[in-house]
């Protein structure tokens, strides 16, 4: 009688376990019959990757640099940063881990959904971060309002070198470490128009 009770108990446990497993499997299966991202016809569905999380904080050692001469726009950057004007924009660079391009009146009104050869891994209202196999690049699109005319809006694109060419995505995105991108995005967001004295 004891062995019959044990067998019945084991059978009940196995049945409960089978029910739990089938419930869990039915919850994780997609309801549609499509194969988004999976191989055609095999019913597999590729799950979207979790967005990566970044922490954009300006390092305390950064100082304000004027971008177009005295009394012009400024942003925070490493003290040794060099500011160089070009035909389309302004480059702010310091060493291998800090290289920004700033474009005033760029040709874009929205951030790009994708860059050639890069995956979009994070985005916010004013920011998109792209990842290649060996690092990250980004674009920040800001609209600044001068103190002297609240009706005027100035669009500015600030991004890692190679992420934009006057507002057009570049196929040769230069990549940086995660920490470098966090610092450079914070620097781009520190961009200010000249102030009235």
More confident residue, 35 or 97: 97
pLDDT at 140 over 80: yes
Q: What is the pTM of this model?
A: 0.69
Query: How many Cβ atoms sit within 10 Å of the Cβ of residue 140?
Result: 27
pLDDT at 152 over 90: no
Q: Both tokens of residue 125?
A: 């209202």
Q: Tokens 């990842």 label which residue?
A: 131
User: How far, in whole angstroms, is CA 27 from its chain's centroid?
Assistant: 31
Residue 103 phi, psi (nearest 5): -125, 125
CA distance linking residue 70 with residue 178, whole number of Å: 32
User: How far, in whole angstroms, is CA 9 from its chain's centroid?
Assistant: 54
Mean pLDDT of 107-131: 86
């Amino acid at each position: 009688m004891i062995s019959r009770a044990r067998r019945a108990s084991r059978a009940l446990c196995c049945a409960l376990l089978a029910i739990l497993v089938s419930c869990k499997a039915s919850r994780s299966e997609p309801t549609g019959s499509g194969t988004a991202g999976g191989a055609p016809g095999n019913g597999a569905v590729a799950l979207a990757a979790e967005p990566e999380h970044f922490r954009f904080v300006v390092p305390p050692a950064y100082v304000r640099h004027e971008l177009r001469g005295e009394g012009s726009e400024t942003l925070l950057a490493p003290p040794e940063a060099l500011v160089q004007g070009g035909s389309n924009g302004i480059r702010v660079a310091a060493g291998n881990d800090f290289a920004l391009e700033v474009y005033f009146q760029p040709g874009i009104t929205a951030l790009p959904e994708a860059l050639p050869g890069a995956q979009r891994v994070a985005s916010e209202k004013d920011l998109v971060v792209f990842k290649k196999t060996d690092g990250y690049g980004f674009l920040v699109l800001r609209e600044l309002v001068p103190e002297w005319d609240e009706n005027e809006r100035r669009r500015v694109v600030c991004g890692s070198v190679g992420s934009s060419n006057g507002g057009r995505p570049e196929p040769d995105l230069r990549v940086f470490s995660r920490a470098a991108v966090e610092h450079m995005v914070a620097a781009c967001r520190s961009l200010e128009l000249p102030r009235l004295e």
